[in-house]
Structure 1
């Protein structure tokens, strides 16, 4: 055990290896969202084939998925605070990838609902362990940037989900799209197991952490609830996520039903807007917060707030568009500004708790973010 820890510490002392591990985690988060986003761009095809209602589509992409995602995220996070985060991530990838592929075999609403529940359970095992690992290998003054880079995977995944789903769905059908995206995830799980080392907890801050179990769940929950900043932060994230998830789920059907654009063209436009606009916005949010936050830590919250306020009038115009191409182009700016919050918020949350509480702290933040944002949105 000590030899493995020493080898891992020596590896993470090299900036190149830290960058490699972060890159692998970004890729897995992209796969996480490719699998999740497929349903959104394919929902019109699925609705027609399986005879679903809009309410059933909303349950598949919203509340039902969110419920299992957030509920399972908490015990998985507790496991990550005491066990091997690398192994948990690898297992999670296998589960959500397999269930994504199985989604393509669904013959009715119940079949696809059960498959999406399986995807939600698997995807719950990605971010809390990954957030904890990133905070252990990057110093506090680099943490918002590193977490923002990881969070870029979200928007890369949306890009891949929209473009792959749109074009594969248009030419080969929605079932083939789920198969094409789901099966390669197993190879990613093998890559994580073979090349990513489990970092020592507190490594980036030179904190000696004992092998004792993490604090009890209730103690961590009480600590988070006692932090007024965390309560406000989590609720603000939930409101922002509710707006962004609502639009992400609704805009494809809105444009397809209101214009003559094809599903492949729309998937490309929405995918590029999310991938490029969202990715750059997430990165800028982290970089600006780390740079400005060294002068005043309140910038970790001011940067996201400024971005969200600036996005509001642009988003309102998109919803009342008169010119389709202008609306699709303005979607880049809306997503760019609206995505600046995630890295700084996670970094701020981790600064409020101990090193053996970080995975659970992320899970609690995502519990509010996804239950309010994804579920209600």
Structure 2
């Protein structure tokens, strides 16, 4: 296959297009705006909303297989195209149990993977649920079942007073309610599965979040080998159970009593895997293209002693390209800065990232260099 269609034209598709250059694979993107990041590198583009199935039908005429950059898609409408012979990878049946957070939790439970305790609350059941909620239930986490990302639609509720204040904002939305996990650390695994069922897993990483948005990723995570093997077993079981094809991001909690719980699954390349571009033999973006094109998977091995990835998040409303800050960050030894070319900044928006390769796995060294990047970016 030489042409891959991608539904979505943001930074994930942009980095996928960059990886495609080295593989001789062109991308055709379906995306709303000509200014979206991936358009500048894509071979072709269909300008339309992500869930515009008519546009996806046009996209299918320009490529051999269609992949996904995000989960904002209309599965029933796409199934009509699949029945007409359009090749989606991962297959739509893989996405069905994952796009709704309650369905995802239920699927994980069904296949025997450990998750936080959960339940669903509908607009019709809200009042009864609120009345029945005991003080022992708090703190708890509310999540919109669909279309939440980077912390949007996720609320950590400390007590009934906070819940009552929030109810007008959320009670009309189908919700996933789950127990709050006072975790020791947050971990992530990037794993890929081929058309023939081969699975490769990248080094397990530790992520640090702020306001439910990933801020730092440390590779590899400093956890014992037992936990590494447990996370790898979870990733393998998940991808095989789904019969998935492509790269998946798996977010996990390491609890204070040393248990692993699955938090969320992203059926695509993932922010916690950006370090792989410079730090691994095969980047997650090249790996995804290899998988969806039916080619043998690449080596996920870490090429360096360690790496830290820092997201460059918006901290103000502005149109600045932050050229001076980016120039200073790029001067840090072994720093690789990726700027997504977005024209507007707002608090929490991912504008770029920087990966710094390390000559030592020492966590303190990684923390120091991450702090140096952030002091330049956000100011001291």
Q: TM-score normalized by structure 1?
A: 0.22
Q: Per chain length, whose mean CA-contact separation is higher, i.e. which structure has more relative contact order (CA < 8 Å, sep 6+)?
A: 1
Greater share of residues in strand: 2
Between Structure 1 and Structure 2, the one with more helix by share is: 1
Structure 2 length normalisation: TM-score?
Answer: 0.22
